Amino acid sequence: MKQILHSIVLGEGKPLCILHGFLGMLDNWKTLGTIYAENGFCVHLIDQRNHGKSFHSPDFNYDTLADDFLNYLNAHNIENTALIGHSMGGKTAMQFACSHPDRVNKLIIADIAPKYYPPHHQEIINGLNAIDTTNLKSRKDADEQLKKHISNAGIRQFLLKNLDRDEDKKLCFKFNLEVLSEKMEEIGDNINSTDSFDGPTLFLRGDKSEYVTKNDTEIIHRHFPKATVETIDNAGHWLHAENPEQFFEKSLAFFNKE
């Protein structure tokens, strides 16, 4: 029996599925998800494998993550959907759209390009692995330990949202840190080199982010010939959280365009 990704569903109307980024979870998209739901969408906020409340597995690459999403659509009887993916979720969304173009009617990729990214989260992984979860008393305690490795309070807050209590009421991480620590190369991997998606596609990049540059336009159009690239002002890599108003405005205009 196939394992199905955990999700929450908001609103009624046209299907819209949203895939979070590395070390994130569906909660990161609740604010925007609620707004989409208020504007005529049935929004599926989804935890990818080894993240949030979804199942843990040693298998982790973009073909596998795309298969997870296909199983999710089939389980929820969704024939085709609008799809948003951020960062790692953007890679999953790209791979899925290329592999199953008939299941995606509009595609938005948030601050990631179809290219290889060298592993660059090692400082975060090292910091998370250094936290002694066996004796953890509070989120504040975890923050003090993480501060030794990560100075940015916003990034620490984002990561520590993943703390939860297990059946024994002990604090632990929702994500599968052991597997994700081993799969850094796969997380930076590109989608399959010859794949393409000919449907309507919008790439949104943060103006303060270096993830998508002008030099990436050629490779974007090689894989997504109908893609447009737009910039979100005053935003870095977490553009949907840093400027949600403009992210929503640009995405809704794209979804509503015939």
Give the pLDDT confidence of 173-200 residue by residue, as tens digits: 999 999 999 998 899 999 988 999 999 9
What does the pLDDT look like over 123-169, one tens digit per residue?
Answer: 899 999 999 888 888 889 999 999 988 888 888 888 999 998 888 78
Please tell me whether the overall predicted TM-score, pTM, comes out greater than 0.85 for this model.
Answer: yes
CATH 3.40.1180.10 fits 7-117+186-256, yes or no: no
- Encode burial over 160-199: b for 16+ CB neighbours within 10 A, e otherwise: bebbeeeeeeebbbbbbbebbeebbebbbbbbbeebbbeb
Please say if 193 is a catalytic residue.
no
178 is catalytic: yes
Closest of 234, 175, 176 to residue 205, by C-alpha:
234
Q: Compute the distance between CA of residue 245 and CA of residue 183 in angstroms, rounded to an integer.
A: 34
Which is the catalytic residue, given 7, 54, 87, 251?
87
- Helix or strand run (H / E) with residue 108: strand 104-110
Q: Is the pLDDT of residue 1 over 80?
A: no
Domain ranges within the chain, ordered by starting residue: 7-117+186-256, 121-182
Confidence of residue 122 (pLDDT cuts 50, 70, 90): confident
Average pLDDT across the chain, whole number: 94
Known catalytic membership, residue 54: no
Per-residue confidence (pLDDT) for residue 103, from 0 to 100: 98
Quick one: which of 174, 159, 24 has its CA closest to 84? Answer: 24
Cα–Cα distance, 115 to 107 (Å, whole number): 17
- The catalytic residue among 237, 240, 242, 251 is 237
